[in-house]
Amino acid sequence: MRSRLLLLALATGSLLLVAFLIPLALLLRSVAAEHASDEAATQAQAVASLVATLDEQKLPLVVDGSSRPMTVFLPDGTVVGRSAPRDPAVRLAATGRSLTAQAPGGREILVAVAGLPGGTAVVRVFVSNADLQRGVTRSWLMLGAVAVGLLAVSAAVAALLAKSITRPLSALVAAADAMASGDLQVRAAADGPREVRRVGRALDRLAWRITELLHRERESVADLSHRLRTPLTALRIDAESLADPADAHRIGRDLDDLERVVTDVIRAARRTGADNGSAYCDAASVVRDRAAFWAALAEDQDRLMRVDVPSRALPVAATADDLTVCLDTLLDNVFTHTSDGTPFTVTLTPSSSGGGVLTVADAGPGFPATQAPGRGIGTGPHSTGLGLDIARRVAAASGGTLTLADSLSGGAAVVVELGPPNDGSAQGDPATGRRGLRRSVRR
């Protein structure tokens, strides 16, 4: 914007200067020519007053002493002074009419001297083009210098004006970028033109409104999650009252996992996003543990389950709980939306840019034609449409992406790219991720 304002100021200033300086330059040239002509006419009038009084011997001395070429045409045909042709203008002046006429190389001033015994004499003074334009070049150079100075001043003023406009706009852009990155406490500076201040106030109101809506959403999710604790407590009491200790232990363990998920939902609902950069876990351990958990169900349904996980640690920018929920969701989709006996694979490979790539592929019917990332994998009555969205959010929170593809066997494949942890999280206490692993193994 600043460069455009400068160009606008220079273009406007240039147009004004052209409209002003060109007529002024032409006027200066005309004034210089008229000044030279007036001086020549004064000289011609002075000599004309002497033609009738001086004799032919003294008249040449006066004519030759003129600063400009002068010629006197006497009535008897005698020519005194500089030799000059008796052109039509001279013959017209000999009729008693003084005039100015153009001549080759300049201008001639003709003054008629009437009342002589033999007729009318003509005094001719020649003004060359150099005399007619004397001083014009210097005046034009001065006008050019003034024009350049005025353009420089206008550019400086335009730069200051542009800075006064673009500086608050840059502050607004910085505030908007900060809000886009999650800092909703930033506020726009209240300076600049009135329109810019109005935009800043509107941006502040928008940030306040977003903060309020997020707060309400977090409180609503947290309140809903807290309400789930009551039926969970009732279920736990019912489980403890079972006659079979094995069933009571199994159901109690499932309730522990469900309570952990509810607790994670409450924690995620109240989290502002400032601690996302510290997320870190060993993806290989998480995938290995969750695959061992789902292997029992795969064996019950006569499914061939192939797991390919690196033997070494593979750190990613996601908590163990989030990665557990992500993988459990993808595997639950496989068991829910494919028939018994359908084989599937779970693959975890290092990414070339850091982090890891988690792929869950099956040999089922594949995705529907209208399936898009972020929507549930199934279209039946048991599909909530949230499965892939959960995995997508985990991938996005780690700095990665989720991609839907076709498996090699013609079924569905979900590729979750997990970003690498930052240096601080990777070099910090890895027990944060390990604690998540120990909690997940309890299921």
Q: Which residue has the tokens 């996992």?
A: 257
Tell me, yes or no, whether 262 and 289 share the same domain. no
Residue 384 lies in a domain: yes
Give residue 356's pLDDT. 93
Which residue(s) pair with 315 in the sheet? 282
- Residue (of 274, 380, 388, 279) closest to 331 by Cα position: 388
Give residue 277's pLDDT. 52
Where does the pLDDT of residue 384 fall: very low under 50, low under 70, confident under 90, or very high at 90 and above? Answer: very low
Tell me, yes or no, whether 23 and 113 share the same domain. yes
- Of 109, 136, 163, the residue that ends a domain is 136
The domain of 427 spans: 279-441
Q: Tokens standing for 121?
A: 């004499």
Residue 332 lies in a domain: yes
Q: Tokens standing for 74?
A: 């006497």
Can you give the C-alpha Rg of the chain in angstroms?
Answer: 50
**Span between the terminal Cα atoms of the chain, in Å:** 60
Tell me, yes or no, whether 241 and 300 share the same domain. no
| Element holding 6 (H helix, E strand) | helix 2-51
**How many domains are contained in the chain?**
3
> For residues 425, 430, 432 and 433, what is the CA-based torsion angle, rounded to 10 degrees?
100
Tell me, yes or no, whether 82 and 212 share the same domain. no
Collapse the DSSP code of 111 into the 3-class scheme (helix H, G, I; strand E, B; otherwise coil) and give the result. strand
Q: Which residue has the tokens 């309570």?
A: 259
- Of 136, 158, 173, the residue that ends a domain is 136
Amino acid (one-letter) located at 384? T
What whole-number distance in Å separates Cα of residue 236 and Cα of residue 232?
6
Tell me, yes or no, whether 257 and 325 share the same domain. no
Model confidence at 379: pLDDT above 50: no
Tell me, yes or no, whether 239 and 285 share the same domain. no
Confidence (pTM): 0.44
Determine what percent of the chain is predicted with pLDDT higher than 90.
17
Model confidence at 417: pLDDT above 90: yes
User: Which has more pLDDT, 20 or 233?
Assistant: 20
Tell me, yes or no, whether 245 and 207 share the same domain. yes
**Contact present, 163 and 2 (Cβ < 8 Å):** yes
> For residues 351, 352, 353 and 357, what is the CA-based torsion angle, rounded to 10 degrees?
-10
Tell me, yes or no, whether 211 and 327 share the same domain. no
Query: What are the E-state strand segments in 277-429?
Result: 281-282, 305-308, 315-316, 344-350, 356-362, 402-406, 412-418
- Residue (of 62, 35, 32, 234) closest to 137 by Cα position: 32
Where does the pLDDT of residue 185 fall: very low under 50, low under 70, confident under 90, or very high at 90 and above? Answer: confident
Residues 6+ apart with CB under 8 A from 230: none
Residue 167 lies in a domain: no
Give residue 373's pLDDT. 43
Query: What are the E-state strand segments in 65-183?
Result: 70-73, 79-81, 99-103, 106-116, 119-128
How does pLDDT run across 124-178, given as a tens digit for each residue?
999 998 888 888 888 889 988 988 888 888 888 888 887 777 787 888 888 888 8
Give residue 255's pLDDT. 77
CATH at residue 60: 3.30.450
Tell me, yes or no, whether 294 and 394 share the same domain. yes
What whole-number distance in Å separates Cα of residue 372 and Cα of residue 21?
67
Residue 142 lies in a domain: no
Residue 370 lies in a domain: yes
Q: Where are the alpha helices (DSSP H) in 271-312?
A: 283-300
Model confidence at 33: pLDDT above 50: yes
Tell me, yes or no, whether 262 and 323 share the same domain. no
Residue 145 lies in a domain: no
CATH at residue 249: 1.10.287
Can you tell me the mean pLDDT for 425-443? 37
Tell me, yes or no, whether 7 and 65 share the same domain. yes
CATH at residue 434: 3.30.565.10
Q: Tokens standing for 229?
A: 């604790």
- Of 88, 112, 136, the residue that ends a domain is 136
Tell me, yes or no, whether 287 and 428 share the same domain. yes
How does pLDDT run across 209-227, given as a tens digit for each residue?
888 887 787 777 767 766 7
**Contact present, 177 and 16 (Cβ < 8 Å):** no
Residue 119 lies in a domain: yes
Residue 141 lies in a domain: no
